[in-house]
Amino acid sequence: MFSQLKQLPADPILGLSIKFKADNNPNKIDLGAGIYKDAAGNTPVLDCVKVAEQFRVDNEASKAYLGSTGSPVFNTKMTDLILGDHKVITENRIRTVSTPGGTGALRVAGEFIKKCTPGATIWVSNPTWANHKGVFEAAGLIVKTYPYYDYENNCLDFEGMVNALKNIPQEDAVLLHACCHNPSGMDLNQEQWQAVAEVAKDVGFMPVVDMAYQGFGTDLDSDAYGLRLMADTVEQMIICSSCSKNFGLYRERIGACSIIGRSAEAADIINSVLLSVVRVAYSMPPAHGAAIVETILSSHELTTQWHGELKEMRDRINNMRQLLVDKLKENGVERDFSFITSQNGMFSFLGIDQAQVQRLQDEFSIYIVGSSRISLAGISTDNVDYLTQSIAKVL
């Protein structure tokens, strides 16, 4: 059986990380990995997480399964975090299950859509997170794209986006990034969210909102504005959320898939289908990360501490955006990179070509995805001069 297998190419981003680790250049810089790094280049464990973990060690009494939905407390806390004081909660129209990370939430969403409509199509932005296409295709969906980013002008192609959404078939699904668009960093503003929500209502397609970076843009509530507005506007939608970035729980793999129905009765039916999807996929979700999150969100003191640590991460990334633009000017780069400061989250496109990206890697040990997407979290005051001087040379 195995003799028929052929070597597959490495994932572009994961393969980049492998090359970076093998590079002996002391000045090397990794701008490919989509994880938060502090000024020293480390991905720290948040202090509030350490407290919550110790609480779990001291108080956990069993390793028994929690059930296919996961922890009810975690699910409730996550629903409140993403939706706030929203009518779909008071009307009992939403059901949430714990998942193995945000990727697991997306896969559950894909499998759920397939249960509803076998052979369904889901539309994703062009560009989108590199793994979206693979996850949804593995779930049996057809993946198509709608315009989103204007590469020539380094801005949102909103007109192209809306025109495309107006022509999407009613039975299809549309993936939207709640905030901190990966990979462009270019988000919809409130007025644009209103327009997209109205199109979704008029056309009738199923919105699937991916919120992997809540709190990394402006703040927790502002980053959820579009998602909450969409829930105000349409009767049904799917939300995929992750605790990897905002809680720093990357390796714990904890996220959630939430689905809103037209009524409480419809939500119960949705839940039964959700559980059937989970049962044959991974049966029971991981518990450790969920316990950390629910411990933090159940404590006023720890929640306040988390808000402060989340703000530190957000502020550092935003400061690196401005510093990068300033240093590029300082090092004689005449091209206008000011668009970087108007974006949100960890990512942005530099807008350089693949040959220049390759030169940065080969000559300067600066690792960037071929599309020129960079992770701002990989920049620090210690490496920004070397980085911008190198970019100036390839330009």
Question: Does residue 248 share a domain with residue 113?
Answer: yes
Cβ neighbors of 18 (< 8 A, separation 6 or more) are 10
- Each residue's pLDDT tens digit, 249-263: 999 999 999 999 999
Domain membership of residue 375 (yes or no) is yes
Q: Which pLDDT score is estimated for 33?
A: 85
Q: Note if 245 is an active site residue.
A: yes
Closest by CA to 392, choosing from 346, 311, 319, 337, is 337
Which of the residues in the chain have pLDDT under 50?
Answer: none
Shared-domain flag, residues 272 and 322: no
With contact defined as beta carbons under 8 Å apart, do 216 and 314 qualify? yes
- Tokens 């990394």 label which residue? 216
pLDDT of residue 8: 86
Domain boundary among 229, 264, 298: 298
Residue 51 lies in a domain: no
Catalytic residue among 129, 193, 306, 327: 129
Out of 30, 157, 172, 210, the active site residue is 210
Does residue 87 have an active-site annotation? no
Q: 265, 298, 331 — which closes off a domain?
A: 298
Q: pTM score, two decimals? A: 0.96
Is 210 noted as a catalytic residue in this protein? yes
What's the confidence (pLDDT) of residue 13? 78
**DSSP states of 226-269 as a string?**
HHHHHHHH-S-EEEEEESTTTS--GGG--EEEEEE-SSHHHHHH
Same domain, 87 and 24: no
- Give the tokens for residue 17: 């990380």
Can you name the residues that pair with 349 across neighbouring β-strands? 373
Of the residues 223, 245, 306, 327, only one is catalytic, namely 245
Question: CATH number, domain at 114?
Answer: 3.40.640.10
CB atoms near residue 144 (< 10 Å): 15
Q: What is the tally of structural domains in the chain?
A: 2
Side chain identity at 141, as an amino acid letter?
L
Q: Which residues span the domain enclosing 377?
A: 11-44+314-394
Q: What angle do CA 343, 345, 351 make, to 5 degrees?
A: 50
Residues 222 and 140 in one domain: yes
Is 50 a member of any domain?
no
Sign of CA dihedral 136, 124, 122, 104: positive
